[in-house]
Structure 1
Amino acid sequence: MDTRKRKILLVEDDTALASVYRSRLELEGFDVCEANNGEDALSLAVSEHPDLILLDVMMPKISGFDVLDILRNTPETTNIRVIMLTALSQPKDKERAEQLGVDDYLVKSQVVIGDVVERVRYHLGMSK
């Protein structure tokens, strides 16, 4: 059985929200690294080899959509699971994310942290 900790890259520019997510994910047994902008997210994705990326859309420097696009077009990161966690609830935003190859798209106002953890587990093939 695979006992290593799964690594999550949390990309969120709201530091209060990021710390809430980090605490909960660590409590659930995940190894969490954090980026608060798109540039850092891209370099960490390559250097840290996370199992999954929780990606905010609206961030300084590079948007989550652009980060996703670059991840999918970079050989080292193309297969990393990506869940977008965003305030954008418009269908066109979700469609754009899906066209870029997102694994899941969650709207912050429509989910609680437990739902997010559940989706993370699901995409990593870890049932409860």
Structure 2
Amino acid sequence: MDTAPKKKIVVAEDDQFLSNAYRVKLTKEGFEVKMVGDGQELMNLLKTYRPDIIILDLLMPVKDGFEAIKEIKASPSLKNIPVIIASNLGQKNDIDQGKALGASDYIIKSDLSLEDLVAKIKSLLGTKLNSVKSISP
């Protein structure tokens, strides 16, 4: 029986349908999932909660994803958390901006299945875990 702690994911998504779909799928995959509806809620949550990865929409009310990732990557305590941008903004300049701001990956929501998202998350977490292990004595 696997007793390893669940990997923690925060999803920042204002679309209720997508938010629920992400929550259901990621929970079934064995992740601990917390949902927020905008960038300000995300930043407030990150004051007390450290996820292993963040899924971030760009177009959200109050504080958009571009502002949120800037704050995350500027924070010494948050900057190493991988961020996957999940957006319907698919123009090259949007993708380039997201990656320039420090996103680990940028996905176009309309082009990606939930299974593909899970595979990307597991790949990033595996890479992160392997890099940590290789540093340890």
- Aligned: 1:117 with 2:94: no
Query: Normalising by structure 2, what TM-score?
Result: 0.88
**Structure 1 position 76, deviation (Å):** 1.3
Partner of 2:82: 81
Tell me how large the CA RMSD over aligned residues is.
1.4
Q: How many residues align?
A: 126
Which 4+ stretches in 1 moved above 3 angstroms?
none
Q: Which residue of 1 aligns with 2:14?
A: 13
Q: For the Cα contact (< 8 Å) 1:9–1:45, is it kept in 2?
A: no
The residue aligned with 1:46 is 47
- Percent of aligned pairs with the same residue? 34
Distance verdict in 2 for CA 1:2–1:72, change over 3 Å: farther
What is the TM-score with the length of structure 1 in the denominator? 0.95
Structure whose alpha-carbon radius of gyration is higher: 2
CA separation in 1, counterparts of 2:88 and 2:3?
A: 34
Q: Is the 8 A contact 1:46 1:77 kept in 2?
A: no
Q: 1: distance between equivalents of 2:3 and 2:116?
A: 24
Unaligned runs of 5+ in 2: 128-137
Q: Deviations over 1:25-54 (max 9, x none)?
A: 000000001110110111212311000000
Q: Could you tell me which residue of structure 2 aligns to residue 24 of structure 1?
A: 25
In 2, are the aligned partners of 1:56 and 1:64 still within 8 Å (CA)?
Answer: yes
Aligned to 1:107: 108
**Mapped partners of 1:56, 1:10: distance in 2:** 8
